[in-house]
Amino acid sequence: MMNIVENFDLFAPRLINKQELISSGHRACSGCAEVLAVRLMCKALGENTVIASATGCMEIISSMFPTTAWQVPWIHVAFENAAAVASGVEAGLKALRKKGKIDDRYVKVVGMAGDGGTMDIGFQALSGAMERGHDMIYVCFDNEAYMNTGIQRSSGTPMGASTTTAPAGKVSIGQKTWKKNMPEIMVAHGIPYVATACPSYPLDFIRKVEKAKSIQGPSYIHCFSMCPTGWRSPSHTAVSMGRLAVETGVFPLYEVENGHYRLSPDMPKKLKPVKSYFKPQGRFRHLTPDQIEMIQEKVTVEFGKLVEKAKFLKTGNE
């Protein structure tokens, strides 16, 4: 992988946009994988893009003057309505284009939010937008808790993680419920394209955003983005933790195009044990071997289901 990153230009010169549409100098924590993901997303989207962003880390770190980082039209709305605002922008652009009030170039509307803004408070707006079939991309940047307000649990927080509102201690193991399977919920909306992605696999991520961009209609990308601050692990581990999440099957990379599942080529044939992923993270440090075994079982079962779904597709995996 290191070679690929070093030879980025050589490797895929036609695919990667040289423009930085979210500039450096923003206020993200060191080792933030989420802003790296936003940067890669922007490269894939190009400048004919309007972004509606919910409240969250990415809003706070990228928008504050004088460190405003956005080079594309960007609107911050409230916490619960990124998808609704993106719907409105898309419908407005469509109407203006139809009346000939704006030029004919194609502009992609993108809604973005964190895991809380997508799976909890923004869920209703997202479900509505997907059902109405707006021509938009919605990207969830999932760092598995409300990091902007200080590491509170969300329905994206995985079983056993300690957060400030689901603290591990004598009585509790921390988060007591399984992470909400958001990509599956989006698949159930019957939208043309759903994908999971991770900035630790930049080319895979860029390809998926480009594919979503090329599709007329709603698409959903669930981007797993590690948060060193909230996960209580060193900031240099951001990329390696993302890779471990994928290699252990905790966060499998796949895409669903018109109902057809395909595992990404980056998925390993044999998964690593989840404990190798848990070990560097402070939020899982309290887990006993039994509890880790329970989580391992669930991961194995879930990954098995996914492999089953992807099995019958002719292209893709063997």
Partner 1 sequence: MKASPEGVLTGVHFMDGDHAACEGAIAAGCRFVAGYPITPSTEVVERFSVRIPTVGGMFIQMEDEIASSIAIQGAAWGGAKVMTVTSGPGLSLMMEHIGLAVMAEVPCVIVDVQRGGPSTGLPTLPAQADMMQVKWGSHGDYQIIALSPNSPQECFDLMIRAFNLSETWRCPVFMMMDEVVGHMVERVEIPPADQIEIVPRRWTTKKPSEYRAFEPGPDMVPDMAKAGDGYKLHITGLTHDERGYPAMNVPAQNRLVRRLSDKILKNRDKIVDVREDGCEDADIIVVSYGITSRVAGAAVEMARGLGLKVGSARMVVCWPFPDVEIARLSRKAKAIVVPELNLGQMVGEVERAACGDARVYLVDHAGGSVHEPERILETILQAARDAGLGFKTEAERS
Contacting positions for partner 1 (CB under 8 A): 55, 76, 78-80, 116, 119-121, 123, 146, 149-150, 152-153, 155, 164-167, 169-172
CA atoms of 231 and 236, how far apart (whole Å): 13
What is d(CA 205, CA 243) in angstroms, rounded to the nearest whole number? 13
Residue 165 vs 229, nearer CB to partner 1: 165
Angle at CA of residue 305, ends 303 and 311, nearest 5°: 100
Between 173 and 221, name the residue whose CB sits nearer to partner 1: 173
Query: Minimum CB separation from partner 1 for residue 175, in Å?
Result: 10
Of 225, 130, 140, 118, which Cα lies nearest the Cα of 187?
Answer: 130
314 CB-contact burial (10 Å; exposed 0-12 / middle 13-18 / buried 19+): exposed
Q: Please choose, from the candidates 259, 253, 291, the residue with its C-alpha nearest in 3D space to the C-alpha of residue 275.
A: 291
Distance of closest approach, residue 156 Cβ to partner 1, in angstroms: 11
Q: What is the number of alpha carbons within 13 Å of residue 202 lying toward its C-beta?
A: 27
Q: Taking the complex as a whole, how short is the minimal distance between the CB of residue 143 and partner 1, in angstroms?
A: 14
CB of 172 to partner 1, least distance (A): 6
Pairing mode of beta strands 260-263, 49-53 = unpaired
- DSSP at 283: G
Q: Which is nearer to partner 1, 116 or 252 (CB)?
A: 116
Shortest Å distance, C-beta 176 to partner 1: 11
Shorter beta-carbon distance to partner 1: residue 157 or 219: 157
Whichever of 84 and 119 has its CB closer to partner 1, that residue is 119
